[in-house]
Amino acid sequence: MNAPASSGARIVVARHIVTMYAELPRAEALAVSNGRIAAIGDLAEVQAAMAPGTPVEELDGVVLPGLIDAHLHLQRAGLKALDYLGADDGVDRYIDAMRESFDDDGPEHPPFADRVRALVRVQPLLHALGITGVVDPAVTIDEMRGYQETHRRGLLTMRTLAMPFLDLGTAAFPDVDAVIAHLDGTGVSTGFGDAMLRLGPIKVYADGEALKGQALLQEPWNASGYRGLQRLSDEDYERLVLWCAEHGWGVGTHAVGAAAVDLVARAAERAGDAVVPLRFQAIHAYLETTPEIMRRAAAAGVIASLQPSIIWHNGAGLRRAIGDRAESANPVRGWLDAGATVAFGSDGPFFAFDPRHLLWQAVTRRVAGEAEPLSLREAITIHEALAAYTTGAAYAAMAEHERGALRPGFRADWALWSHDPLETAVDDLRQLTVLRTDVGGRTVYTRET
């Protein structure tokens, strides 16, 4: 099944439209036909491009491209929504409930029917934040079945790039050879799927979590000389990456610390031309990554999949653990200057996932519980932050040719915001509201007034 069918051609006029398309950054109207943008520009231009009498809808707000969260555990977010929300609870309650339960992973073996119910429950909550697509960064075999069934029933409204996660070191996948055998046995690879549900790169772990002292660093964590947890040997990691590159699988690597990102860069350099089309990612990539490592990773074609939310929650703990070394954490400026494509995500529902909050954090570098922001040398502009959530994340989602911007021929995935984030005072960003969200020309969320 393809994107939700359009109910026919129409023209949408807004206060203005933010296109995230450099040649026409702003527009007045867009026309939708068959789930795609048929024309965009001044109202007169758009009307001239359409059949006479095409209905015109006037909206009081600012239209933005649908946001793409490049790291959101969508199905687990849905299972937690089933656990924590009453039938009438909306997105505000959901945000609070998840903040109060970050440590709860949700049910481990839910009944299969719950997987479909979970997705149906959570999608509108995220559409209410202007999100129209996600990259789910760790999809188990059971979760993949849940996505497929939800899509088969025509119930998937969130465009999803699913990154298969074969948990290395468990009984099912004791070693790299077991992972390779499984991937080889499916007969499909990264990119398989359609505009609603597509297979992404696989997910592997090079190191652990920063607050557990497991990020693999180049400098020791402390006087003991400990540098962090390397979850795969250099040899095993490179062997897996090179096999994937040769067989059509991309690799997204959980790599928090500099030494782990260095490992990703080295393997990508060896993998060569496969890296760009298969959208290899360095995931998190935020602790003491040097300009040299970032430049090499970017030059090899590796996407920086970054989450402003993680540093919001971990900033204070990192300052306690490593002092001033924490100041440069989550170097978004550094990754952009290195020439990388930066894709923003949240790691929701286990970290803050409200894009208004994350846009604000990326600009201000503020951290929870601290008066002082982290070093502003790594701050970016609101436009750069919005790009990481749209064009950058669309690239990570293998969809930059039809999503992430509002251009003729692109999918009609957009949200109506109360105000333009690009023209909002930084401290007011978190108070913006999303009034309506469309996916493929179909309205999937309308704010009740």
Nearer to Zn ion, 143 or 347 (CB): 347
Q: How far apart are CA 154 and CA 443, in angstroms?
A: 15
374 CB contacts (<8 Å, ≥6 apart)? 311, 315, 326, 327, 328, 329, 330, 365, 367
Tell me how far, at minimum, the Cβ of 203 lies from Zn ion, in Å: 9
Tokens representing 401? 């040719």
Closest of 128, 123, 131, 170 to residue 151, by C-alpha: 123
Nearer to Zn ion, 262 or 347 (CB): 347
Nearer to Zn ion, 347 or 354 (CB): 347
CA atoms within 13 A on the CB side of 280: 31
Nearer to Zn ion, 14 or 68 (CB): 68
Nearer to Zn ion, 288 or 347 (CB): 347
Residue of this chain nearest to Zn ion (CB atom): 347
Tell me how far, at minimum, the Cβ of 347 lies from Zn ion, in Å: 4
Q: How far apart are CA 304 and CA 335, in angstroms?
A: 7
Tell me how far, at minimum, the Cβ of 75 lies from Zn ion, in Å: 12
Tell me: does residue 384 bind Zn ion (CB under 5 A): no
Tell me how far, at minimum, the Cβ of 72 lies from Zn ion, in Å: 8
Encode 157-177: b = buried (16+ Cβ within 10 Å), e = exposed: bbbbbbbbbbebeeeebeebe
Amino acid at 380: I
* Residues 130 and 437: beta-carbon distance below 8 Å: yes
Nearer to Zn ion, 327 or 347 (CB): 347
Taking the CB of residue 97, how many other CB atoms lie within 10 A of it?
17
Tell me how far, at minimum, the Cβ of 345 lies from Zn ion, in Å: 8
The DSSP annotation for 31-86 comes to: EEETTEEEEEESHHHHHHHS-TT--EEE-SSEEEEPEEESSB-HHHHHHHHHHH--
Nearer to Zn ion, 70 or 294 (CB): 70
Closest of 82, 84, 162 to residue 123, by C-alpha: 82
SS3 321: helix
Tell me how far, at minimum, the Cβ of 162 lies from Zn ion, in Å: 13
Q: How far apart are CA 324 and CA 13, in angstroms?
A: 49
Tell me how far, at minimum, the Cβ of 429 lies from Zn ion, in Å: 24
Amino acid at 59: L
Nearer to Zn ion, 36 or 254 (CB): 254
Amino acid at 303: I
Please work out the total of residues on this chain that contact Zn ion, with binding judged by CB under 5 A: 1
Q: What does the per-residue mask of binding to Zn ion show for 245-264, with x meaning CB under 5 A? A: --------------------
Q: Name residue 256's beta-bridge partners.
A: none
Within positions 328 to 367, which residues make up the interface with Zn ion, using CB under 5 A?
347
Tell me how far, at minimum, the Cβ of 225 lies from Zn ion, in Å: 29
Tokens representing 16? 């203005």
The Cα-based distances of 360 to 73, 170, 434 in angstroms read: 22, 39, 16
Nearer to Zn ion, 32 or 352 (CB): 352
Tell me how far, at minimum, the Cβ of 132 lies from Zn ion, in Å: 20
Nearer to Zn ion, 127 or 284 (CB): 284
* Residues 207 and 221: beta-carbon distance below 8 Å: no
Within positions 167 to 206, which residues make up the interface with Zn ion, using CB under 5 A?
none
Nearer to Zn ion, 334 or 345 (CB): 345
* Residues 288 and 261: beta-carbon distance below 8 Å: no
Tell me how far, at minimum, the Cβ of 305 lies from Zn ion, in Å: 10
Tell me how far, at minimum, the Cβ of 261 lies from Zn ion, in Å: 16
Q: Where are the alpha helices (DSSP H) in 230-322?
A: 234-246, 258-271, 291-299, 308-322
Binding site for Zn ion (CB under 5 A): 347
